[in-house]
């Protein structure tokens, strides 16, 4: 199914995007609202480890952490999912059995996406067979930047089909797309082609999730819902390491898409060190003392 994509139907006003972001981010969230936001942000985390040196032990430890964020402080939510490389899916699946936490796997020759479509589809099928509940694919940025939008769109549709019941997150790798206009166009293509979530970055390229990029993608999600009635999820990833940033993004979603998106079903953070920073903030709010990483599990 080749979609006829009209190029750049939405041009993004970069200055305006930056100013809007600055205004949203200046909002101050305190006390009970802050605690609520921190708990919510924890429940939205895709706790991620995507390193070449990942081992079975590392993945098991991360899975344990996913459901035992900080046992000293009862009542904390679990994170939404664990995000790992394909060969770690069976280990994660087994470790998370009975916790209700999803296993997400990157696929389609992550992070570059430089493989032929056949290999990509096989990889997707194999991670789904291994038990992945969510698949994070990367788009072919080379094809996109050379204007072959039909290819990008077809690829996403085929991967979506290969996913079956698993949720599909489409990584745009916005750091390589250069302009906000491209980010908007890629978001539109991904959503039209069947993405359940659109995701900013692999975390391997800098810049990763920048606020104007996230805002642009959220606006694309909003327009897509207006047009089709479908609710697409959003996942900023890469470079989100502090509780403060997380809360700023929550403000941005609320103001762009409304309260309905303030849920792990429709919004996720792809992060590894974010969880500990949020936990430190929660403990600071509770005890009144600034915390140290020394007293939290390694992430």
Partner 1 sequence: MSERINIQKTYKLYIGGKFPRTESGRYIKWADKKNSTVVNICRGSRKDFRNAMVSARGAVSGWSSRTAYNRAQILYRVGEMLEGRRDQFMAELTLQGLSKKQAEKEINQSIDRLIYYAGWADKFQQIFSRVNPVSLPYFNFTSTEATGVVAAIAPDDSSLLGLVSIIAPVIAGGNSIVIMASESFPLCSISFGEVLYTSDVPGGVINILTGYRSELIDHFSSHMDVNAIIYCGDNEDDKKLVEMNAALNVKHVIQFPVQDWAKDQHQSPYHILKCQETKTTWHPIGV
Residues with a known catalytic role: 136, 199, 235
* 80 alpha-carbon distance from chain centroid: 11
User: Is position 290 an interface residue for partner 1 (rule: CB under 8 A)?
Assistant: yes
Here's the x/- map for partner 1, 238-277, by CB under 8 A: it reads as: ----------------------------------------
Nearer to partner 1, 226 or 289 (CB): 289
Could you tell me the smallest distance in angstroms from the CB atom of residue 294 to partner 1? 7
Query: Number of residues in contact with partner 1, rule: CB under 8 A?
Result: 8
Cβ-Cβ contacts under 8 Å for 191 (sequence gap 6 or more): 198, 220, 221, 224, 230, 232
User: Is position 291 an interface residue for partner 1 (rule: CB under 8 A)?
Assistant: yes
User: Is position 293 an interface residue for partner 1 (rule: CB under 8 A)?
Assistant: yes
User: Is position 73 an interface residue for partner 1 (rule: CB under 8 A)?
Assistant: no
User: What are 217's two structure tokens?
Assistant: 């993608």
Could you tell me the smallest distance in angstroms from the CB atom of residue 298 to partner 1? 15
Could you tell me the smallest distance in angstroms from the CB atom of residue 280 to partner 1? 9
Nearer to partner 1, 198 or 275 (CB): 275
User: Is position 30 an interface residue for partner 1 (rule: CB under 8 A)?
Assistant: no
Beta carbons within 10 angstroms of residue 29's beta carbon: 16
Q: Torsions phi, psi of 222, nearest 5?
A: -60, -45
Of 292, 297, 298, 299, which one interacts with partner 1 (CB under 8 A)?
Answer: 292
Which listed range, 76-84, 174-182, 220-228, 283-291, lies at the site for partner 1 (CB under 8 A)? 283-291
User: Is position 289 an interface residue for partner 1 (rule: CB under 8 A)?
Assistant: yes
Residues in the chain: 299
Could you tell me the smallest distance in angstroms from the CB atom of residue 297 to partner 1? 15
Q: How far apart are CA 153 and CA 246, in angstroms?
A: 31
Cβ-Cβ contacts under 8 Å for 224 (sequence gap 6 or more): 188, 191, 230, 232
Of 28, 75, 294, 298, which one interacts with partner 1 (CB under 8 A)?
Answer: 294
Residue 67 burial (10 A CB sphere; 0-12, 13-18, 19+)? middle
Q: How far apart are CA 69 and CA 229, in angstroms?
A: 36
User: Is position 32 an interface residue for partner 1 (rule: CB under 8 A)?
Assistant: no
* 118 alpha-carbon distance from chain centroid: 25
Could you tell me the smallest distance in angstroms from the CB atom of residue 71 to partner 1? 17
Q: How far apart are CA 219 and CA 196, in angstroms?
A: 16
Kindly list the residues in this chain that would bind partner 1 in the complex (CB under 8 A): 288-295
């Amino acid at each position: 199914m080749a979609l006829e994509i009209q190029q750049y139907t939405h041009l993004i006003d970069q200055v305006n995007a930056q100013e809007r972001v600055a205004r949203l981010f200046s909002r101050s969230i305190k006390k009970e609202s802050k605690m609520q936001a921190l708990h919510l942000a924890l429940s939205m985390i895709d706790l991620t480890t995507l390193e070449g040196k990942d081992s079975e032990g590392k993945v098991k430890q991360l899975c344990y952490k996913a459901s035992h964020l900080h046992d000293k402080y009862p009542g904390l939510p679990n994170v939404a999912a664990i995000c790992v490389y394909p060969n770690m899916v069976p280990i994660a699946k087994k470790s998370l059995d009975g916790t209700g936490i999803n296993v997400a796997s990157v696929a389609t020759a992550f992070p570059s996406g430089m493989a032929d479509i056949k290999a990509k589809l096989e990889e997707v099928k194999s991670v789904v067979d291994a038990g992945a509940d969510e698949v994070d694919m990367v788009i072919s940025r080379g094809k996109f930047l050379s204007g072959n939008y039909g290819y990008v769109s077809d690829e996403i549709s085929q991967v979506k089909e290969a996913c079956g019941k698993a949720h599909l997150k489409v990584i745009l790798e916005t750091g390589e797309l250069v302009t906000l206009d491209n980010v908007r166009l890629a978001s539109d293509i991904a959503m039209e082609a069947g993405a359940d979530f659109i995701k900013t970055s692999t975390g391997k390229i800098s810049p990763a999730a920048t606020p104007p990029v996230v805002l642009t993608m959220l606006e694309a999600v909003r327009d897509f819902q207006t047009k089709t009635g479908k609710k697409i999820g959003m996942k900023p990833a890469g470079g989100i390491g502090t509780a403060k940033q997380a809360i700023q993004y929550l403000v941005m979603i609320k103001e762009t898409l409304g309260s309905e998106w303030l849920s792990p079903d429709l919004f996720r953070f792809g992060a590894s060190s974010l969880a500990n920073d949020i936990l430190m903030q929660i403990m600071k709010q509770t005890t009144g003392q600034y915390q140290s990483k020394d007293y939290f599990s390694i992430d």
